[in-house]
Amino acid sequence: MKLYTFLLAALLATFSFAQAQTSSVGGFIHSGAKPVAYATVVLAKSRYGIQADSAGRFTLTNLPVGRYQLQVSSVGYQRSTRTVELRDGQSLDLDVELQPLNNTLSEVVVTGVSRATELRKSPIAISVMSKKEMDINVNNNIVDAIVKGVPGLSAVTTGPNVSKPFIRGLGYNRVLTLFNGVRQEGQQWGDEHGIEIDQYGIERAEVVKGPASLIYGSDAVAGVINFIPYIPKGPEGKLKGDIISEYHTNNGMTGLSGGLAYNKNGWKGAFRVSNKTATAYKNKIDGRVYGTAFKELNLSAMTGTEKSWGSSYLYATLYNNLQEIPDGSRDSLTRRFTRQVLENADDNLKTRPIIPEDDLRTYRINPLHQRIQHYRLFTRNHFVFGKSDLTAMVGFQQSIRREYNHPTVPKQPGLYVQLNTYNYDIKYNFPDWKGLEATVGVNGMYQTNKNLDGTDYPIPDYRLLDIGSFLFLKKSIGKLDVSGGIRYDTRSWNWADQYVQHNPATRFDQLVRTPTNATATLQFPAYKRSFNGVSGSVGATYNLSERLLLKANLSRGYRAPNITEIGSNGLDPGAHIVYLGNREFKPEFSLQTDIGFIGYLNDLDISVELFNNTIDNYIYQARLYDDAGKPVVIVPGNFTYKYQQSKAQLYGAEFTVNLHPRTLKWLAFNNSLAFIRGLNRNDKLIAQMGDAARYLPFIPPLHGRSEIRASFNEGVGTVTGIYARLELDYYGAQNKFYGVDNTETPTPGYALVNIGCGATINNRREKPLFQLFFQLDNLFDTAYQSNLNRLKYFEYYTASPTGHFGIFNMGRNGSMKVIIPF
């Protein structure tokens, strides 16, 4: 409460300040005689910025008097920087010319740094995915849309709409997902639900590859993905909006989204509603895969103001997803999918009826499904105090997760948990002192979890308090940009004894604090413990020239164990796994070294990123056995896993080579290659199990991607922005996997060919009427299984009449997207 009282007082005090004297600056941005549309204009080291309109015009208003560095940038052009002196009531009109340049080094990022920073000045590996690229890479969900464009990024999937991001072989609670800088808190440990974010409302995504615990605290040891929503820009006083519609042929997915935005006199507001619905997907091995249909609804709104004193924004989102739960059960002879009709999932597979074809094609959600609801409300504020500034974020989010797994009582959820999270983040940027930039900050969260009216209880009710503080320093010394800092975190867990007892009224078990009948057993013994850790980083970027860079970074990451790793003791019905935690765990600590080279030449872009990551106290799952060496079965038909700790090492490299000949400006040949190796350094386990235990689970194989893209700036009549692309996605065989208890099995390599094209249709006044995007993925309908596809291991039988085991990935899929601006 003290924190909220302080922030409220600071906010009210700021609004009560008399406004400073103001000025404005505007102008025309062009390259030669051609205007540069939608260029980004910012005043360096301030919160003032805007996007130019389609004619290259911009205006920044309500600016406090003073001296500024005005920076103008756009993809494909060299950034322009000039000093402007603003006096009281003055209005400057500038002429800004940009020189063509095929690189993104001057792009400004906000993720993984203490304040907005150019990519070239950051020693850590950061990748940016624009909305344009996400539109071109049409996909069923937001994570898959960015995986293709960022080497080293992959996803563990459970069907088309469930993707968990992995960075360099690490995922779940080791990857921190942000929505506009606010950490996304659901039940990240769960396998069978995705990221609760509306893909249609995202303007860009920034990916930090490597430990980012210095800025964000626990759970960022693998990296960070920050999804940045659209903020209204452009001409003031005009209502802007768009309608987005898309259709996918494989699973009949239809998406529809509409957004509105308004901007006037420093006030901004936006609203969006989106809906997606799909049937079961199909491939030529399995046909339609029962249990993979989904329905998703998203609402989002923002409002805020930017004035001379700073800015204040309020955001609200609502996410509601009905997601079917596949279990992989089939008829042993025909391999057609079957439906569970008895309470015991393992009872007599012959009683499972085969799914009728109509039920595979329907948009109706089957009774055994999950429902994920996520609500988010937060405010971001920025206050300017002369040459220093302070940012403050306070937010609340609630995640409600139900899993319906009782076929005889379909309205009774098996899992029903409610997670409430209060986030806070305060940063103060000191005035520059002899070129040294310093930032101090404190952030964390308070979290409560409660089991509601469910029948399965994998995790207890608990309270969590997370707080950390950091110091970040940055300085440029000639051609050398140096940055780094240190952070201290503490995370406290607390819960009381909790019992499971039979409830005669419902005929199911219930979770109680105080037993009321003789059937009660202690499910979660009381627990109270704090985890502490120091993290930090130091790195440098050396500018060999304007276009050649060397980068190096050394970072120590920290992650406290999550709730399942220390407290779980029950069945997760969606995953078909009984999880057992370990109350004696220690925090994970990683030490990662990154070395990179980036070159942007006249006809060629090249980057090389090398990394080595050693993790102490690495936490992983292992099948539980009794003293006789037999697998422990607590719930029939479900595996039993207990979390373990050991040492681990991950190393690898990422390469990109992009050709863009100056003599053929319409042509681009983009190539990337990512290699990751994950080693289990548990010598005792390796001595016992041999090579099966030598590697870590869920390590992606060698992944190469090549794309030929033809883009034509000159239009044909009223058609502009024409592009066509041919893409080859190659995945090598994964024969180095965690094979203990057949947790993973060998995965053959495969290659997928994708094609796409698109254009913008304009009216006679050369204003866009709509954009079209066409894409055909898996052109040759290749049958394949990704080693990161959890459905690969959904198999009930040891023999198959077809010779195929598990469920295969999606087959050929055609998609079309239409964006209508107004």
Q: What percent of the chain has pLDDT over 70?
A: 94
Is the pLDDT at 815 greater than 60? The verdict is yes
Residue 201 within any structural domain of the chain = no
Q: Are strands 639-659 and 577-580 parallel, antiparallel or unpaired?
A: parallel
Is residue 223 left, alpha or beta, with left meaning phi > 0 and alpha meaning psi from -120 to 50? left
- What is each CA distance from 752 to 187, 701, 806, 811, in whole angstroms? 32, 15, 20, 10
Q: Mean pLDDT over residues 647-662, rounded?
A: 95
Q: What is the residue-averaged pLDDT of the chain?
A: 89
β-bridge partners, 551 = 541, 596
**Which residue bears the tokens 């529809």?**
256
Considering the entire predicted model, what is its pTM?
Answer: 0.88
376 close to 309: Cβ distance less than 8 angstroms: no
Residue 94 within any structural domain of the chain = yes
pLDDT value, residue 234: 64
CB atoms within 10 A of CB 664: 12
Q: Mean pLDDT over residues 751-757, rounded?
A: 97
pLDDT value, residue 625: 73
Is residue 480 left, alpha or beta, with left meaning phi > 0 and alpha meaning psi from -120 to 50? beta
d(CA 610, CA 608): 7
CATH of the domain at 73: 2.60.40.1120
Confidence of residue 387 (pLDDT cuts 50, 70, 90): confident
- Dihedral sign, CA of 554, 737, 786, 142? negative
Which range marks the domain in which residue 56 is found? 1-101
Nearest to 211 by CA among 630, 533, 659: 533
d(CA 460, CA 444): 21
Q: Do 96 and 234 fall within a single domain?
A: no
Q: For the segment 25-77, what is each residue's pLDDT rounded down to a tens digit?
A: 899 999 877 788 878 888 876 767 787 877 888 888 878 887 888 888 776 67
d(CA 247, CA 244): 11
Q: Mean pLDDT over residues 606-629, rounded?
A: 87
d(CA 654, CA 594): 11
pLDDT value, residue 575: 64
d(CA 307, CA 90): 16
**Token pair recorded at residue 328:** 């992989």
DSSP letters for 637-664? TSEEEEEEEEEEEEEEEEEEEEE--GGG
Q: What is the number of structural domains in the chain?
A: 2
What are the residues whose beta carbons fall under 8 Å from the beta carbon of 117, sequence distance 6 or more?
108, 109, 110, 474
Domain boundary among 101, 122, 155: 101
d(CA 381, CA 359): 50
Is the pLDDT at 573 greater than 80? The verdict is no
pLDDT value, residue 104: 64
β-bridge partners, 639 = 577
d(CA 451, CA 320): 19
Residue 775 within any structural domain of the chain = yes
pLDDT value, residue 586: 94
pLDDT value, residue 281: 97
Domain boundary among 62, 83, 101: 101
**Opening angle at CA 791, ends 298 and 173, nearest 5:** 60
Question: Rounded to 5 degrees, what are φ and ψ at 11?
Answer: -65, -45
Which of 262-271, 560-569, 604-613 tops mean pLDDT?
A: 604-613
**Token pair recorded at residue 602:** 């006249």
H or E element: which one contains 735? Answer: none
What are the residues whose beta carbons fall under 8 Å from the beta carbon of 271, sequence distance 6 or more?
259, 260, 261, 300, 301, 302
Is residue 690 left, alpha or beta, with left meaning phi > 0 and alpha meaning psi from -120 to 50? left
Q: Mean pLDDT over residues 175-203, rounded?
A: 90
pLDDT value, residue 8: 46
Residue 197 within any structural domain of the chain = no
pLDDT value, residue 336: 94
Q: For the segment 414-469, what is each residue's pLDDT rounded down to a tens digit?
A: 999 999 999 999 999 999 898 899 999 999 999 999 999 999 898 999 999 999 99
Better pLDDT: 582 or 577? 582
Residue 464 within any structural domain of the chain = yes
Q: Mean pLDDT over residues 262-277, rounded?
A: 93
Per residue in 748-775, is it b (16+ CB within 10 Å) or e — as a string? eebebebebbbbbbbeeeeebebbbbeb
pLDDT value, residue 55: 80
DSSP class of residue 353 equals P
Q: For the segment 460-510, what is each residue's pLDDT rounded down to a tens digit?
A: 999 999 999 999 999 999 999 999 999 999 999 999 999 999 988 888 989
Q: Mean pLDDT over residues 749-767, rounded?
A: 92
Per mean pLDDT, which range of 97-106, 213-222, 776-785 is the poorest?
97-106
CATH of the domain at 284: 2.40.170.20
pLDDT value, residue 381: 95
Is the pLDDT at 102 greater than 80? The verdict is no
Q: Is 536 helix (H, G, I), strand (E, B) or coil?
A: strand
pLDDT value, residue 36: 85
d(CA 693, CA 647): 12
Residue 408 within any structural domain of the chain = yes
**Which residue bears the tokens 């600016």?**
63
Residue 242 within any structural domain of the chain = yes
Residue 358 within any structural domain of the chain = yes
pLDDT value, residue 86: 84
Is the pLDDT at 742 greater than 60? The verdict is yes
Q: Mean pLDDT over residues 358-382, rounded?
A: 95
248 close to 256: Cβ distance less than 8 angstroms: no
153 close to 166: Cβ distance less than 8 angstroms: yes
Q: Mean pLDDT over residues 117-134, rounded?
A: 85
Better pLDDT: 628 or 359? 359
Q: Mean pLDDT over residues 591-616, rounded?
A: 94
Domain boundary among 41, 67, 101: 101
d(CA 464, CA 446): 6
Q: Is 814 helix (H, G, I), strand (E, B) or coil?
A: strand
Confidence of residue 17 (pLDDT cuts 50, 70, 90): very low
Per residue in 449-468, is it b (16+ CB within 10 Å) or e — as a string? bebeebbbbbbbbbebebbb
DSSP letters for 289-347? -TT--EEEEEEEEEEEEEETTEEEEEEEEEEEEEEE-----B-TTT--BB---SSSTTS
